[in-house]
Amino acid sequence: EAQVTQNPRYLITVTGKKLTVTCSQNMNHEYMSWYRQDPGLGLRQIYYSMNVEVTDKGDVPEGYKVSRKEKRNFPLILESPSPNQTSLYFCASSSQGRQPQHFGDGTRLSIL
């Protein structure tokens, strides 16, 4: 089954404690992306990747890092999380940047 898998689904943590949200897709997609969703703001793109070792900033990259060492994986790293990064995060992938995206089920992060 074609899917995008995010882990963890829920996480409560404290300010400053580094965390990584993993994302994996099994569709051999070249394009992967991270979004955050906040009430009233819709989805905002954090980072995207066109292919292995090719990443670029979206609209709200501050405070986040990503890497794309393998085609299937695109982890999101919060080096020093702060409360304003409390949000619902989605990973998505598509065959190319212009094509419709497949979304994961989301990761709800709470940073105290």
Partner 1 sequence: SQQGEEDPQALSIQEGENATMNCSYKTSINNLQWYRQNSGRGLVHLILIRSNEREKHSGRLRVTLDTSKKSSSLLITASRAADTASYFCATVPNSGGYQKVTFGTGTKLQVIP
Please report, as ranges, the residues that interact with partner 1 according to CB under 8 A: 4, 31, 33, 35, 40-45, 48, 50, 56, 58-59, 88, 90, 92, 97-106
Check if the beta carbon of residue 90 is closer than 8 Å to that of residue 35.
yes
Compare residues 15 and 26 and give the one whose CB is closer to partner 1: 26
Compare residues 14 and 41 and give the one whose CB is closer to partner 1: 41
105: which residues sit within 8 A by CB, 6+ positions away? Answer: 6, 9
Nearest distance in Å: CB 42, partner 1 = 4
* Strand ordering across the sheet containing 76-78: 4-7, 19-25, 76-78, 65-66
Nearest distance in Å: CB 63, partner 1 = 18
Nearest to 76 by CA among 112, 32, 30: 32
Nearest distance in Å: CB 48, partner 1 = 6
